[in-house]
Structure 1
Amino acid sequence: MTVEFTLAQLLQPLTVETFLRKVWGVTHYHVERGREDYFDGLFGPAAVEDVLEIIRPEPSTVVVVREDDRRSPDSYRFSDGSVDLVRIRNDFADGYTIVLNGVERYVPAVASLAHGIEVELNFETQVNAYITPPGSRGFLPHYDDHDVLILQVRGSKTWHVHDDTDVPPHRMRRQEEVNASGLPAPAVLRLNAGDALYLPRGRVHAATANAEPSIHLTVGIHAPTVLRLLTEALDALSYRDDRLLTQLPPRHLDDVRVRASLDGLLRDVVRAVEDPAVMSEGFGALGDALVRRGRCRPVGQLVPNSVEAPRIDGRTRVVKYQPLYSRVLMMADGVALQFAQSLVSADADHRAAMLFLSGNTEPFEVRDLPELSEARQVELARTLVVDGFLVRL
């Protein structure tokens, strides 16, 4: 049975709202639980072996590292490029940490957690697994350019977290290394199995496994920046405004007069970005990227015109598949519900029903879909069950 975790479960007893209001982006936070079995069903030794077997033919997701010694991929791969699991296990015995990147692609419980966080925070996520031998340290003091949630799954680790030394974003962008000799004394935290730790981006840290092998997951939370929002807005504007596609003139690098001739054009473009409609398109592009990362219930739960199809009527109880990010788009000829890789279009009179479907997370009866006739209610519900957006109860 797959155990489903949510952001609220990772943080409790701290509430999500308190976390976002007082902790997010401000300070680190250690959730101590005293429950070694808390993350049972999420990821463990068996999952490690499963992932290694899955990625054996295509090993780009595995890294072997010990402090500043990162093993060359050639040292743990066969001549055909596949993973040599015996060499990886030997490296582990020699004190090297095994890093498995993007485990949400292979483990259903981790995928559900990652997608749930994306829906709740509107941020993309990636989950990496770190398997560290006793007494070893995978990385020297370093920082991440994104916020992270660390989930201690097996064993324990001692973390050194350096407050008041956060690397500013512009230095992260330059990928500047940490000068370990200049760091102040750190806060020392022991993460036991079942504990969680939040670190804001730029917070310098390092961790060492204690007396037993350690497994922890790092949920990377990749919040888009203002730079990305502006880039998306300008890109969207370029599809209808030729000013952004104006070619730079000859000698624009060498002739200051030529460069000065662009001043008016550049000021016009900057003013265009101040238009709320342009920024709305930028947000729309971010939403489109997020919605396409969603995953529905496997398609084929109900086949149109099959024996089961007539079983959906106005009294059929359904619920939106979770976790799944969706949004309603106003189209020239009507309205559409966008989710995962799907776009379900309908006439404009479906707008209220689509908004209800996108925003509702509680079970409901098909006849509760607003402002539609019974026939259209059933037709829409049947389509969304087939596409995996709705689940029959």
Structure 2
Amino acid sequence: MLNSGLDWILGGRSTASLFNAASALVPLYLPTTGTDFSPLGALHSLGDALRLKGQYLSCNASIYREGRQTHPGRDVPTEIYERWLFDEYTRGGSIVIRRYEELNAAAQCLKNALAIELMSEISVHAYVSPASAQAFSAHFDPHNALILQLDGEKSWEVARNHYIKYPLQEDAQSQSVPSDELTRCDVITMQRGDVLFIPAGRVHRVRTSSEVSFHITVGVRELSWEGLAVALLKDARMRDERFRQPAKGEPPAWLVRLAGDLNATVNTELAVRRGFDRHRVDLVDSLTPPARAYLSSEVSTAIGPQTMLALVPGIYAATITYGDRVRLNFSGISTPGRPSYVEGPIALESTFKYMAENLGTFLVSEIPGGLTEEARVAIAQRLISEGLLVPASVISNQKT
């Protein structure tokens, strides 16, 4: 379980320098962090992982060479696609594996931890490159990127002065970067265990050395003011049925006023808090935990006030309030890919927030909210049966 995704990546270092680099739009290179990246997969085992995931492979793995993507054609059988992929790799093409967390449980934990820690959308892609290969020409990404070098070696050329400030997704897709933009650049050779932070919009170019390279890129799409405004409107849509009416005829006066007052709405403390809450709930709803075997029919019944509890590793939760009701959403383990939730009266708000924000262990008797002992036990049993909580002893036993 990665309680802190960044601490795990940075080998226990403070994250302040990382965020300072992000705000200054400059790269940050952390050689030999001391972090053990082996749970994310070793190069020699990658081929085995791919062969076991044929259908996944044909949907998510691509070949790039010198800035161009190649493809064998449409509707190619999985076996042929896999053979073509490795043939292209031997000819100098780089394999790009999107949604790598679907292949690797540690990558899934890392994605979940960073999403909640940074309040950001996280993507995890893997790159397997043969010696002397270049997958992409000079380019920039519309999001911050953390590069973790898992195996081999790779050379990064990062422009010193050329960057696009706060780029949009369409900027990165439509704009090509002239080669002369990299006449003045820093050259960084990434080796196993190294970490590199590339801010959004920073122009860079990458090539492997004489060694095969295996790295993953963690894309971090931070919440922008635009994203917060969207979250505010989404929250308003849930609360006010007028937003759900068909858009026919002239725009209603209330909508015109809303458009004019949007800036004031964003600066309203309660509205902003609701927008952040909505964004966090949406993040949680998008997370899929790795499969765990913590649940059993006996676990939830054999607890009492002195039972020590913890969140199930890989599960994240968030609360959101609707009028006089409060909901606790969490990434569902019983139905992967679909969020789970429990709902109750507003009086349970402090109780649910405690569950969502507590990453340590706690006794059933410590559950807040002015509840009776019987009510605390009942809520704990419900959340255990739903897959959010588990007795700490169960986690300890599975680790030994």
Fold match by TM threshold 0.5 = yes
Report matched runs for 1:50-199 at 5 Å: 50-58=48-56, 59-74=58-73, 79-80=76-77, 84-169=81-166, 173-174=170-171, 175-199=174-198
Q: Which amino acid aligns with 1:165?
A: H
- Partners of 2:226 and 2:192 in 1: CA distance: 38
Contact 2:93 2:129 in 1 (8 A): yes
How far apart are 1:262 and its partner, in Å?
A: 10
3-state DSSP of counterpart to 1:19: helix
1:215-364 correspondence runs (5 A): 215-237=214-236, 239-241=240-242, 247=248, 266=256, 269-272=259-262, 274-275=264-265, 276=268, 278-295=271-288, 301-303=294-296, 306-340=297-331, 341-364=339-362
Normalising by structure 1, what TM-score? 0.84
- For residues 36-47 of structure 1, the aligned pairs below 5 Å read 38-47=36-45
Greater C-alpha radius of gyration = 1
Question: How far off its partner does 1:178 sit?
Answer: 1.0
- Asked if the contact 1:63/1:73 (under 8 Å) is kept, the reply is no
**1:177 Cα offset (Å):** 1.4
SS class of match (2:39): coil
Letter in 2 for 1:10: I
Cα distance change, pair 299–386 in 1 and its aligned pair in 2 (3 A): farther
Unpaired runs of 5+ residues, structure 1, are: 250-260
Contact 1:142–1:204, Cα closer than 8 Å, also in 2? yes
SS for the counterpart of 2:261 is helix
CA offsets 1:197-227 (integer angstroms, 9 cap, x no match): 0000011111111111000000011123322
Counterpart of 2:42, as a letter, is G
What CA RMSD, in Å, does the superposition of the two structures yield over aligned residues? 3.1
Please name the residue that 1:258 is paired with.
Answer: none
Comparing 168-177 and 382-391, the one that deviates more: 168-177
Instruction: Check whether the contact 1:145–1:172 (CA below 8 A) recurs between aligned residues.
Output: yes
> SS at 1:346's partner residue?
strand
Aligned residues of 1:149 and 1:220 also touching (Cα < 8 A) = yes
Q: Deviation per CA, 1:75-114: give whole Å up to 9, x if none.
A: xx87436553222222111111011001112210111111
- Evaluate the alpha carbon distance shift between residue 283 and residue 347 of structure 1 in structure 2; reply closer, same or farther with a 3 A threshold: closer
Give the residue type in structure 2 aligned to 1:86: R
Deviates more, 1:315-324 or 1:364-373: 315-324
SS in 2 for 1:314: coil
Report which stretch shifted further, 352-361 or 369-378: 352-361
Comparing 355-364 and 148-157, the one that deviates more: 355-364
Instruction: Please give the alpha-carbon distance, in whole angstroms, between the structure 1 residues aligned to 2:253 and 2:309.
Output: 57
SS in 1 for 2:132: coil
Distance 2:259 2:32 in 1: 53
CA 1:320–1:242 in 2, change beyond 3 Å: closer, same or farther?
A: closer
1:360-391, Cα deviation, whole Å (9 max, x unpaired): 22211111112211111111111112222112
Moved more, 2-11 or 345-354: 2-11
More off after superposition, 240-249 vs 46-55 = 240-249
Distance 1:243 1:209, change over 3 A: closer
Secondary structure in 2 matching 1:197: strand
Q: What do the CA deviations read for 1:307-337 (whole angstroms, capped 9, x no partner)?
A: 4444201111111234443222334454332
Identity of aligned residues (%): 22
Give the structure-2-normalised TM-score: 0.83
* 8 Å CA contact 1:296, 1:321 repeated in 2: no
Structure with bigger helix share is: 2
Structure 2 residue aligned with 1:382: 381
Unaligned runs of 5+ in 2: 332-338, 393-400
Q: Which amino acid aligns with 1:271?
A: D
